Homo-oligomer: A and B are copies of this chain.
Amino acid sequence: MRILIITANGFEDSELICPAYRFKEEGFQVDIAVPEWGEVIGKKGYVVSANLSLDDVEPSAFDALYLPGGKAPASLKHMPDVQKIVQAFEKEKKPIAAICHGPLILAAAGILQGRKATCYWKVAEDIEDAGAKYDNVPVIRDGNIVTARKPEDIPYFMKEIIGLLKEKSSNDGANGL
C-alpha cells in the first residue's frame, strides 16, 4: 500500500506528522509531494522532507491520497497539477482523505459535488459552495472520500481511513491485484 501526501509550507504540523506515522505503523509506504522538491515547514515549525515535487507525481503509482490542513491547502488548491492529481484518484475511486482546510482542495478540484463531507468550520461555506453536503461531525466517509474537521478528530479520522485502506487492500487481494 503506497500513500501520497500533498502539502506545502504552512501545513498544520500534527495533521501531517501523526497520520504519516500511523500509515508507516501499518507498513504502508508514505511519499510526500510539495510544489518544489525539498523541505517544507509547518505552522509550529516542524520541518518535513518531501521526496517528490508535484511534477513528479504519477497518480497510478499510489493507492491513496491524503491532504493535511493548515495554510498549505490555500496555496495548493488552485494549482492545476494538484487538481489533476486529485481528479485522477477520484476517477479510479481510490481512497482520498482530507482534514481541516484540506477539503478545500477537493472542492477546487470539483469532486465534492453531491458528496457528504466535513472540514474546519471556517471553510464550511466554501465546500458547500462546491456542492458538498457539509455536516459538523468528527469524520465523514462518503464512498472513497474521508474528511475530518481538525487535529482532535485524528483518532476517529485515522480509524476510518485505515479501515477503508484495509478493506481496499483485502478487495484488491481478492481480485488478484
Chain B residues with CB under 8 A of A158:
21-22, 25
Listed stretches A11-19, A76-84, A89-97, A125-133; interface member = A11-19
Query: Within the oligomer, what is the number of copies of this chain?
Result: 2
Partner of A155, one of B25, B154, B156, B159: B25
Q: Does A46 contact B (CB under 8 A)?
A: yes
Chain B residues with CB under 8 A of A156: 25
User: Which of the residues B13, B46, B155 comes within 8 Å of A21, measured between beta carbons?
Assistant: B155
Cβ-closest chain B residue relative to A42: B44
Question: What is the chain B residue whose CB lies nearest that of A154?
Answer: B21
Beta-carbon contact of A155 and B44 below 8 Å? no
Contact with B along A1-37 (1 / 0, CB 8 A): 0000000000001100110011011000000000000
- Kindly provide the distance from the CB of A115 to the nearest chain B CB, expressed in whole angstroms: 24
Complex CA gap A131/B13 in Å reads: 37
A45 at the interface (CB under 8 A from B): yes
Interface code A50-94, partner B: CB below 8 Å = 1, 0 otherwise? 000000000000000000000000000000000000000000000
| Structural contact, B159 and A46, CB atoms closer than 8 A | no
Q: Most B CB atoms within 10 A — which of A17, A151, A156, A159?
A: A17
Residues of A within 8 A of B (CB): 13-14, 17-18, 21-22, 24-25, 44-46, 151, 154-156, 158-159
3 A-B pairs with least C-beta separation: A24-B155, A25-B155, A18-B18
